[in-house]
Structure formats: structure tokens, C-alpha cells
Chain A
């Protein structure tokens, strides 16, 4: 059932001057499955109202029917689902053809909502109900969580829905004006005229603020809009909202309405922020104040003047200001019977709206009289949304005469204009804003000139101009009666269904600060973030405490100013990935990829075990381009190597390669790799693939902070070379077919040496090393030739069985050989001796990184050791990270690497064990994740295969 007003009580009016709808076009859409029509320019809610629909949602807690109240962005009763998008502000979102709009937070329907039973038992659902009711027993918390989450308000997102394009952009305006009403527009114009680039942001679809729905100010609005349009230095963003102000005026803006882009998060670094949010009309608290038909005066004026919607047939208007008076005039002009004007300035008031749950039928006055009406309009005061200035550190100050808060002190790069500052005529407001905009421009330009001077690449700037004194005219503050709550109780927070009685009870229970009341009752915590309800909440608490509003103070507004979608926050995810030059071949030949750091690497080509066997029997090639490579040049490189590695480097000959391990100052293994000497003052250091950036930083850190006197240049060249490791007994045969200028014989090119020459017609350097434990040469060629070399190797080695192998095969082979991997077989606590590199660590060196810790470690014996392990049952491969236990459940180590060895036909492992278990031959217990225990034996060598190194030295 769709809740509609009686026929013809709400309908489209004849054309209104200044209306924003295009009556020449018709848009078709549905609401809860029923078809309706509207016009371009309509909001979802204005179109539905014009069709007689008056209830759009159910309230958060009590599930009461809710209608239009604000007819704008902050309307608490108009949140709907549009297609797959939940929580759309229906009184703001423009209608589009084909929209499928539905109510949310209802079941089974908007007309009959089962959860409306909450309203019947509402007196039991007071503040803190959930805290008090569901605290015990603790064992039922998961059940409570499951059941209560079903009642959570909000729309639904389909798991299978398409996701819009959420974009990001950086901006650097001199002046950012938050708010496009008359004051914001005037400030933007003045700022632009004084040399500033300006970003002008407004949440509505057109600039103008309240002038848009004030027919009497249309000419002035047109004039301001024209002036804005003339200035190319003003970027106007409408349907956009400034969601936060952070340090140094980092301002976040969410922009909507761009073609093909659902939302865009703009990260703006504004030199000066001008806050021009206008004023938000405050609801009045009384019994029945949330019934459909209770509206704010500004809401009435929007409906009539922007969308030509007649909001009812008979009205009572409670007015305390000009906005209420103007609403009376508007209503009368369009034929609504204004049955009673209740003038709060004369002490009159309303106490209750009566009628069925989904409509107003009668209004009860403070004098006891009752008037039949289907519309109750209130104009009882204003709230200045001080959120952005709160975020800039300013605490608002209450002025009882004007009955609202005003800004406290502000930093120099934040200025305020418009209703947040004061009242006065339109001319007074724009004059004040123009002067402020000029000041903003002068301050911003001075900052910009300073930045230009600091940046070497910027255009040279002239001397900053002294900021001249600018007289900012005062804005008067109009007196206004303090009207917050009538003699009856009603809803204070229409988003969260928080009643004035809830606040009084919270105060009685001891939650007597506004920040505590906020968290206890959730008042001001809904989607409007307190813009409608903060002052009423403060006033109600002040009443409970017998204090003034100044004494109670306000809550602190933090970002976001308005709810922000996860899509906007996430946006486009710029996550770099890196490819080797051989990636096209890998992709074309069925490589199974893995992500290693940012690198996309072939894990295998389908059968890692077969790849291992091929390397052991024939020859394989692997793409090791990601291996970190640092080009080191200068006369002091050997000093650097001696400082960073735990072993000695003074006597590395040209043409030689040496393995080294780096430890951090705490003695923990940092990285490992080989470094070769290519010429007297030229070395090439390799690092682990994942450690390349860390080691570069590590090297630069030592050079720049400890040894700036050393003459060394470090250049990362990881991707300058395509790197291919050729391994297997037939390697030399294969390479001899392609290599020029290098004698590959074991005598001329022994293990742990480097040579330069040409391969496949390309310059190269290659070193003989053996991570896989096989005879192998690592060939490095300029990266652009990587694919050429890869294909040449496979072609030339076809008859030798040459085939690629991936990371998994390499890991199996290195485990067979007992080579550890930093980060896999070591962790953030593994000091050098624990990694089993006793033979490498040279404590007799004068100084090296980590030496003091390693000396200390060498003087003790209570540290764990990395050992090779073989399960007694060679068919069982214990998962990595399986615990090694003793005496039942005492943890005495863990498996760090574990594979089934195709070469040995059994499982093999590396593991860290406590020292008393490290002796060769010791049997340990490995506790598997499935609960089973197996036995494994500690081996004599780390190498399970060829511990003598016959294969790799061949």
C-alpha cells in the first residue's frame, strides 16, 4: 500500500516564477513498484508529492511514517533506496528517467510495517535500552548481534550489483568557498577579482542558497550568477559537499553529477577556506512533531517556489521570524487556506499535532484551542552549521539574543561569511562577504607567493605584497525568541528517533554532559550530524540541568560534514604492479602468476615438480628480473660493503662474486644476496626481490648520515636489466651456443665469478652462482632485450630440453639445497647466528652493522637455530608454520619451509628449533594444524641434496 494524501490535496501548481522543473519533459519512474511521472528538475520527493505520495520512509527506531519536512538535503524523513544505491536523500536527489525508488527500513511494506510495533512499546525502548537489556548473559552476545543487526536501519547493496566509477582528484585553489549562497557567491567574486583562483562548492544543484526560493530576490540572484559565470578563475562545483577540513586547509569535497562518474573525492589544498554554510532552519519540539504534514517554513517555500508543489490544503503556521511570515504569504498565494497564524513573538505556541499516524488532521494551540489543518508549519529559529570551523579548531559561542551559536576565534586561513556571522539585509550580507573575499584573496596570494619561493621548479615570484588592512563591516545579529521545545514532549532527533524525554532521562541517569548524552542517546549522531537537532538537544539538556545553553555548550563536530560513501573514500585504487620484460611470454604460455610485493611473477607453468626434474636433468630458465640490483660506484665501495655485510669484502677481486648477509643494528638478518666486482670502482649488488627498496634505503641512510665523506654513488638498476637464471647440467652447452667473449669453462669462469660479454647478440654480464644447487649462470642484459634473450635461450636449447621454470620450482630446489629465504626462514627476531651463518659472520672485522649484537649473541648459547629437518615419514609434508613441540605442548620451534622434494622423493623442511634440539640426529615432534603429531629428524647439513656442492661447482 502506498500512503497518499486525499486526492487533490497535494498536487502540482501552475507554473511558478523561478521554478526549476522543465514541464516540457516527462520522466517516468517507480516508487515501491508503482509507476509515477515527474519532470527534469524535480527531486524524487517533489515528484512523489506532486503525485500525492506523502510518506516516504519509516523512522529509525519506532518505525513511524515519515514525510517531507525540510524539502532539502537535510530532510530526515526522505531517505530512500534508488536502484542498487541505498540511503539516497530523496528530497535532494534529482529525478532521473527510469529510477526504481523504494522505501527502506520497512517490512513487508511502507504501508504496513511490522516493526511499527516498536512504536506501541516505545515507552520501553528508552535511551540505553539496548545497553541495559542485552548486557547479560554474555554468552548470548553473538545471538543478540545477529538478531539486532536485522533491525539495523538503512538500505541494501546487492553483492552482484555493478559498482559505479568513483574518482579522485587533487586541487589547489587559492580560496575555497564552502557554500554557494549569496554570501559565498559574493566572497568568491571578490576573491577572484583580487587575483585568487577560487573553488566555489555548494550541495545544491544551482548556486543561490535561499535566494533560489525567494521570488523577491530573483533579480539579485541572476546578477550574482552572471558575475560568477564571467570569471574563469572561479570553478563552480554544485551537487557537491565539503565533507571536512583538516590540517593546513586540506579540504575534502565530494562531487556528484559528473558524466560517467558516480562520485569524485576532491582533495583540495586551499590556501584560504571561506566558510559560507548559510543557516539551517531548526525544527520545534512538541507532541506529534514528526507526523507527515509538519514542515519547516523553508521547506514550504522550497516546495512551492522551486518545484511548484502545493504542500496541503489547510495550514497552521507557527512563526517567530520573517521566514515564517513569508511562508504564510506563499501558502496564501497558491491557495492554501492558512487557518491560523500562531505568532511566537507574541508568546503564542502550538503544543500538539493530532491525527492518524501518517498525517496531520488537527493542531492544538497553547491556549487549548484546536484548528483543523493538514499542514503545520513552524518557523522557530536557525542553526548555523559550524562544523567546518569546529574542524579548524574554533569552538562556537552561544548568543541568547539571536538564539543561535556563532563562530569563536578562527585561524588566519579560515574566514566566515553569511548567516554564520550574522543577519542584516541582503546588501549587508554581500558587502560583508565581498570584503571578506578580498581579504581571503590577499592572504591566499601571499601564501602562494611564499610557496613559489620555496619550490625550485616554480615560476619565480615577486616579493609578497604586504596584506593591507581591510575593513570588514559588521553584520548585525537580529534578536530572535529562544524557541526549542513546547510544553509537550516530541522528537528532538528525527534521524535517530530520540525523544526529548530520552534526553531528560539520560540527564537523570547521570549523563549530564552534552557529549555523554550524545553517545548515550545517539542524539545528533544520525545522517544529519546534528544540523537540525543540536541546539534543541542542548536546550533540552540545559533545561534538565537547570543551566543555560552557554553553560552546557555544544558537541564538537568532526569530519565528515555529511555522510560519505565508501566508494568515494576508496575511489580509484592506484596500486602499482610491476612486470618483467618477459611478461608477454609468460602470459602467452600459461604461466600461473603470483603477486610478490608489487611484482607479477610466474609461480609455475603448470607442473612445478616436472620443472624441478627438468632443471636437475636438463636445463631450465627462470625470470629473476625482480632481483634487486644496486649499481655501486666510487673508490669507497669496499668500505660500504664491509660496513653493511657481516663478512669481509676488502679483497674481492675484479671478476669475483661473493655472497653476503646484512644484519640490522639489532643483529637481526635484514637481507642477503651476492655482490660482484665489475671494475676497480664498479660493483653490482643484488638483494632479495622484496628487499630491494629496503636495502637501497639502508645503504643511502648509512651513506648520508654516517659516511657522507665516502665517495660512492648508489643507483638502483633493478629494472634496467632483464635477469635470467639458466640452471641445470646442460647449462654450459646451451650458453656456449649463444655467448660471445666469455670463456665458460670451469677453469676460466669458476663458481662465484662474474664476466662481461655478449649473449644472443646483446651486451651482458653474467655470474656463476647456484641458488637452485645446480650449475647455473645468471644472465643480465639491458631490459629491452629481455624477451629477445628469453626466446633465444628456449630456441637454442630446444634439443637440450630447455624449458622455463617458475618460483615454486625454484623454491623447491633451493630448499633441497638448504638455502634459506630471508623473511621466510627468518623473522623479525632472527639474529645472524640463529640463521646458521656462523661461517659467514666475521667478528674480527673492525666494525659492521649489527656487530655489537652479534658479539653478544656469540657469547651466549640460548638462541634458536635454523636447521634442516626431514620427517621420518617422508610422505608427510608438514604445512609451513607447523609448531615443533616437546613435553606435550611446549612450543620449541616451527617449520619455516616445507615441500615434497621431487629429486629425493620425500618431504624436506627447514625449521627454527630451540638450541637443545638443534644437534644433528635429534628427533623432534611436529604438531600439524590438523592436530596430528609427526616425528622429524634434524639433519647434519642445511642441504638435503648435494651438500658438497658438486653439482653447482661442475
Chain B
């Protein structure tokens, strides 16, 4: 029997390779606007009350990169998402289960890595592309670097995080898995006028 291979819901463009058990594309793009599939990253959801004792204390609506490389996102009132390297899901679940305390509500920590698609949109025109499919005001004062919010993107409920990298405007778009391919197809269609291209799994996702 073949070794298990984990696959993203998004078609991987060649060339591909296995990275920690996930099939990923290694294609590189020099386009000024690029779309990368970050689905293999570990994604852990934590639910408890907003007043719970949490290590990062990331507030609702913000995303904070922790020193250990985990991106902690305040994705809803009493709801957080932690993104980590591929295969770190168990570690994040254990750490969060141990360190989050709440006297009012149960603490639920669920690894949703396989249940969500995660896309990175990077480039100067990233906001212009999103403005074609998302009704949220993406101006700097309304959606600055480090902000996180939930909104429909091309009619798919998504969590968006602005996560600029080296001055390049960057959005992480996170939706339920089965809509991942549709969302990528739609962003490629909407971004054709900006020359958007797919690129492979990046060295530094965020």
C-alpha cells in the first residue's frame, strides 16, 4: 500500500514534490501579483470565552506573529486561529490545550488543517483584485497590516488576514476546504487584468 499523501483541495501546478507528507508545487513566479496555496500549513481553532486567559492575548480583529513562528489570529469573539508550519498541528493543539484557561466556558481546541483551504495573495495590486470580489473597504486606515476579519470573497465566507511581507501587500484568505479550488479559479479570473500568477508553496509563508 502506498504511503499516505495529503493533498490540498487546490490543484498543484507542476513541478511538485512532497513536503512533510503533503503534495506541494515548487513553481516560482516573478509576477507582481501572485497566488500561493498555503493549505498544508497547520491550522488550529481555539474556542472559549473572550475573557479566557490566553498566551498571546491577540484581540479579535488582529493577527500577531508569535516568536515561535505561529501566526495567531483573533478570528471572532472568543475564537482564535493559529497557523503553524506543516505538521505542527498536534504541537499547537497540545500547547493551546495546556495554556488556555477559562473558568466560564469549556476550551475547545480543534485541528482544522484538513477542513480549510488557505491562500496567500501577494503583490501591489492585491487589494485591487480583492476589491472585485470582496465588498470590504481595504484601504490602509480601514484594513491595515495585521488586521483580520471575516467577509464573503466571491460569495464564499472567508477569513482574511492582512499580513504584509517585506513591504509587499499580502492577504491570507482562509475558507472551508471544498470551496478552495473555486476560490482560486475565481481569483485567477478576477486577477487576469493584473497579471496574477500561481506560485508554489513559499519558503516563508508569513
Contacts and interface: CB of A to CB of B under 8 A. Distances in A.
Given A711-B106, A760-B4, A458 B132 contact: no
A581 B7 contact: yes
A720 interface: yes
A715 B154 contact: no
Interface stretch (B25-33, B118-126, B139-147, B163-171): B139-147
Contact of A599 (B2, B47, B178): B178
A170 B131 contact: yes
A847 interface: no
Contact of A579 (B6, B9, B61, B140): B9
B141 A792 contact: no
Nearest to A795: B1
Given A171-B131, A455-B61, A448 B1 contact: no
A578 B182 contact: yes
A575 B154 CA distance: 8
Interface stretch (B64-72, B93-101, B107-115, B197-205): B107-115
A718 B61 contact: no
Contact of A760 (B1, B142, B154, B190): B1
Indicate the member of B4, B116, B133, B155 with the most A CB atoms within 10 Å. B4
A461 B139 CA distance: 14
B174 interface: no
B1 A784 contact: no
Given A167-B132, A720-B112, A760-B1, A457 B62 contact: yes
Contact of A459 (B135, B140, B190): B140
A794 to B, nearest CB: 12
A443 to B, nearest CB: 17
Interface in A698-716: 711-713, 715-716
A675 to B, nearest CB: 17
A447 to B, nearest CB: 12
Given A458-B142, A458-B143, A681-B106, A259 B132 contact: no
B69 to A, nearest CB: 21
Main SS class of interface, B: loop
Interface residues of A, number: 66
B7 A787 contact: yes
B142 A783 contact: no
A927 interface: no
B92 to A, nearest CB: 15
Interface in A160-203: 167-172, 197
Given A576-B179, A715-B108, A457 B45 contact: no
B143 to A, nearest CB: 6
Given A461-B141, A711-B106, A782 B113 contact: yes
Contacts of B57: none
Contacts of A267: 135
B16 interface: no
Interface in A274-317: none
Given A452-B141, A458-B142, A579 B178 contact: yes
A887 interface: no
Interface in B1-37: 1-9, 11, 22
A788 B116 CA distance: 18
Contacts of A717: 110, 112, 115
Contacts of B149: 455, 457
B88 interface: no
Given A459-B142, A572-B190, A784 B6 contact: yes
A423 B51 CA distance: 62
Interface string A768-784: 00000000000000111
A580 B141 CA distance: 39
A947 interface: no
Contacts of A712: 106
Interface in B73-90: none
A738 B4 CA distance: 12
A52 to B, nearest CB: 40
Contacts of A762: 4
Contacts of A761: 1, 3-4
Contact of A581 (B9, B108, B134): B9
Nearest to B134: A170
B148 interface: yes
B7 to A, nearest CB: 5
A170 B130 CA distance: 9
A574 B134 CA distance: 11
A261 interface: yes
A520 interface: no
A719 interface: yes
Contacts of A713: 47, 105-106, 108
B91 interface: no
Interface stretch (A376-384, A629-637, A744-752): A629-637
A574 B155 contact: yes
Contacts of B192: 260
Nearest to A258: B193
A448 B141 CA distance: 9
Nearest to B48: A713
B135 A785 contact: no
A796 interface: yes
Indicate the member of A452, A719, A782 with the most B CB atoms within 10 Å. A719
Given A261-B193, A267-B135, A578 B4 contact: no
A459 B132 contact: no
B59 to A, nearest CB: 7
A456 interface: yes
Contacts of A899: none
Nearest to B62: A457
Contacts of A168: 132
A576 B142 contact: no
B60 interface: yes
Contacts of A715: 45, 47, 108, 110, 112
Nearest to B63: A457
B177 A792 contact: no
B59 A260 contact: no
Interface in A913-933: none
Interface string B36-55: 00011000010100000000
Contacts of B140: 459
A572 B186 CA distance: 10
Contacts of A783: 9, 114-115, 177
Contact of A782 (B6, B131, B143, B147): B6
A455 B132 contact: no
B4 A719 contact: no
Contacts of B110: 631, 715, 717
Interface string A29-40: 000000000000
A172 B177 contact: no
B114 A721 contact: yes
Contacts of A796: 1
A782 B114 contact: yes
B7 A458 contact: no
Indicate the member of A197, A459, A721, A786 with the most B CB atoms within 10 Å. A459
Interface in A547-602: 572, 574-581, 584, 598-599
Contacts of A260: 192-193
26 contacts: A169-B132, A170-B134, A172-B139, A451-B142, A456-B59, A459-B140, A572-B189, A572-B190, A576-B183, A578-B178, A579-B178, A598-B179, A712-B106, A713-B108, A717-B115, A719-B9, A719-B177, A761-B1, A782-B6, A782-B114, A784-B40, A784-B113, A785-B7, A787-B5, A787-B7, A796-B1
Interface of A: 167-172, 197, 258-261, 267, 269, 448, 451-452, 455-459, 461, 572, 574-581, 584, 598-599, 625-626, 631, 633-635, 681, 711-713, 715-721, 738, 760-762, 782-788, 791-792, 795-796
Interface of B: 1-9, 11, 22, 39-40, 45, 47, 59-62, 105-106, 108, 110, 112-116, 131-137, 139-144, 147-149, 154-156, 176-179, 181-183, 186, 189-190, 192-193
10 A-B pairs with the lowest CB-CB distances in the bound complex, closest first: A720-B115, A456-B61, A784-B6, A457-B61, A578-B178, A782-B114, A457-B147, A172-B137, A719-B177, A713-B108
